[in-house]
Amino acid sequence: MAEEAKSKGNAAFSSGDYATAITHFTEAINLAPTNHVLYSNRSASYASLHRYEEALSDAKKTVELKPDWSKGYSRLGAAYIGLSKFNDAADAYKRGLEIDPSNETLKSGLADATRSRGAKSNPFVDAFHGPEMWAKLTADPGTRVYLQQPDFVKTMQEIQKNPNNLNLYMKDKRVMQALGVLLNVKMSSGEDTEMKEADDSNASVRKEPEPEPEPEPEPMEELSEEEREKKERKEKALKEKEQGNAAYKKKDFERAIECYTQAMELDDEDISYLTNRAAVYLEMGKYDECIGDCDKAVERGRELRSDYKMIARALTRKGSALVKMAKCSKDFEPAIETFQKALTEHRNPDTLKKLNDAEKAKKEMEQQEYFDPKIAEEEREKGNGFFKEQKYPEAVKHYSEAIKRNPNDVRAYSNRAACYTKLGALPEGLKDAEKCIELDPSFTKGYSRKGAIQFFMKEYDKAMETYQEGLKHDAKNQELLDGVKRCVEQINKANRGDLTPEELKERQAKAMQDPEVQNILSDPVMRQVLVDFQENPKAAQEHTKNPMVMNKIQKLVSAGIVQVR
């Protein structure tokens, strides 16, 4: 079943449907949670959607499950690059190359991470970094037309791949205009004018500066009537904004709206008045008005080439309003999309948190919408049919669907635990059995399932404790009584020394992984007690009167560490 879901995920990924690919890979992971390839594939899908936090989480899980698999480090490096953590990305690629020194993907990734890390302080390099470059060029009317020209697109791709190539195209007016848009500055457009280096660190040829005479202060120019009026209007608008901010802090929202509206009328070249008014509408619960102001702010901000942080703020406010309006899981989709757009403008931790919260709320809402006890019962019955036919993977599929439809039904968890036991997936079965007990501590079947799995794992002491805990709820339960009997037989067999050398060695090795056994053996007092039992019968006799000491001795005997003759 996991292989089938994986194949569907691969097909969806190949077709560019990354969201569907994630769904299929998640389904496969639920069926085979220790398969490192599934986490690797889902990490690639998340990265393709620019959901780098999730991509990083899956990449880490891939490396955890399969630390000697080089592709896991490739996924890890790609996720770190998406998060602009270039040092971590470089470390990940280096670790992968230690495993597979000839891997070209890892070599290329390391080169990208190293180049990006070295270029981070250079504003010219930053201008060409990430997918937002194309968004900025598309938004600007002057550069938008160039995107229809193949040679310009190819040139920009070359520069984006290696920003140092910018020096090769300095005489291309289109490139210079694009650079101006990306840096948010106005560039000279004269045919014979070449761009001067921003500072000495960017110059390919350094010349000694010639001394220049101190410039004389220029006389103040008289402002025209129109310029003076515009300046006054801007100053009045800022005062209105300050009054609006003060009113907002006092929760006087109507007054705040009046002030921000007046500021907008005085100065329509500052979109912060729109975003501030949107914040007031959001606080008042007027979500449609909030969204309207945010859309206007984004549109006007594009026209004015406003700071991308301001546009990101408007998109984030819109996303918050859409979340507030959500009534069903599908209503979260436009909010999530809006938050993702905001992050392409400016990666802000607050926006990222809002995105994660929205995705979590969507998932919870989907679970609530999916809840249907009637269908859950039908799926459980189908699972029972397959279980009787010994078709355990098919049974697991239907029991899993029953759990999704009704996650509070202990019977579905109990039945799936039985399937996992038959399939030898004991850790998964143990989790389901423990979930039964968590949901209903009086459900004795949960204890018998858990005890049986612990018995198969040769953890006889733990199995005994589980069976005894179940008997507190039903003292006459034959299944639990039989379980206790089997555990006693195994424990006595070990106490009598009837185990084969192989069985004893395996039992001791397993016991040494038990933290309780480790603590007993590392306790100086208990070490002396064990020495006394071997060499000082009189002292040993005194130790037998101490219940705590004898409990620990019994633990070691049951574990096969100590043998009684």
Which pLDDT belongs to residue 131? Answer: 59
Cβ atoms of residues 139 and 145 within 8 Å: no
Helices (H), 250-389: 253-266, 272-284, 287-304, 308-325, 332-345, 349-370, 373-388
Average pLDDT, the chain: 83
Task: Give mean pLDDT, residues 121-149.
Answer: 70
Q: Is 176 helix (H, G, I), strand (E, B) or coil?
A: helix
Asked if residue 262 has pLDDT above 60, the reply is yes
Give the closest residue to 62 by CA, choosing from 78, 43, 77. 43
Q: Would 347 be classed as within a structural domain?
A: no
Domain count, the chain: 5
Q: Would 208 be classed as within a structural domain?
A: no
Do 461 and 389 belong together in one domain? yes
Do 310 and 271 belong together in one domain? yes
Which residue, 498, 520, 540, sits at the end of a domain? 498
DSSP string, 135-191: HHHHHSHHHHGGGG-HHHHHHHHHHHH-GGGGGGGTT-HHHHHHHHHHHTSPPP--T
Do 165 and 237 belong together in one domain? no
Do 379 and 473 belong together in one domain? yes
Which CATH number characterizes residue 531's domain?
Answer: 1.10.260.100
What's the first-to-final CA gap in the chain, in angstroms?
A: 51
280-289 per-position pLDDT tens digit: 999 999 999 9
496-531 per-position pLDDT tens digit: 666 677 766 776 677 677 788 788 888 888 888 888
Q: Would 311 be classed as within a structural domain?
A: yes
Asked if residue 193 has pLDDT above 50, the reply is no
Do 250 and 331 belong together in one domain? yes
Do 393 and 494 belong together in one domain? yes
Which residue, 498, 517, 546, sits at the end of a domain? 498
d(CA 397, CA 392): 9
d(CA 438, CA 425): 20
- Sign of torsion over alpha carbons 514, 517, 522, 523: positive
Cβ atoms of residues 97 and 103 within 8 Å: yes
Give the range of the structural domain holding residue 44, as residue numbers without chain letter: 1-118
Do 388 and 434 belong together in one domain? yes
Asked if residue 43 has pLDDT above 60, the reply is yes
Cβ atoms of residues 236 and 266 within 8 Å: yes
d(CA 363, CA 114): 37
Which CATH number characterizes residue 237's domain?
Answer: 1.25.40.10
Which pLDDT belongs to residue 314? Answer: 94
Q: Would 223 be classed as within a structural domain?
A: no
What is the pLDDT confidence band of residue 471, given thresholds at 50, 70 and 90? Answer: very high
d(CA 317, CA 295): 10
Do 471 and 512 belong together in one domain? no
Q: Would 202 be classed as within a structural domain?
A: no
Do 300 and 250 belong together in one domain? yes
Which residue, 477, 498, 519, sits at the end of a domain? 498
Q: Would 536 be classed as within a structural domain?
A: yes
Do 259 and 286 belong together in one domain? yes
Which pLDDT belongs to residue 211? Answer: 42
Asked if residue 121 has pLDDT above 70, the reply is no
Q: Would 344 be classed as within a structural domain?
A: no
Inter-CA distances, 86 with 78, 117, 177, Å: 10, 5, 29
Do 107 and 150 belong together in one domain? no
Which CATH number characterizes residue 162's domain?
Answer: 1.10.260
Q: Is 441 helix (H, G, I), strand (E, B) or coil?
A: coil
Do 67 and 53 belong together in one domain? yes
Q: Would 165 be classed as within a structural domain?
A: yes
What is the pLDDT confidence band of residue 196, given thresholds at 50, 70 and 90? Answer: very low
Inter-CA distances, 367 with 363, 407, 428, Å: 6, 9, 22
| Residue the block writes with tokens 């969204």 | 291
396-454 per-position pLDDT tens digit: 999 999 999 999 999 999 999 999 999 999 999 999 999 999 999 999 999 999 999 99
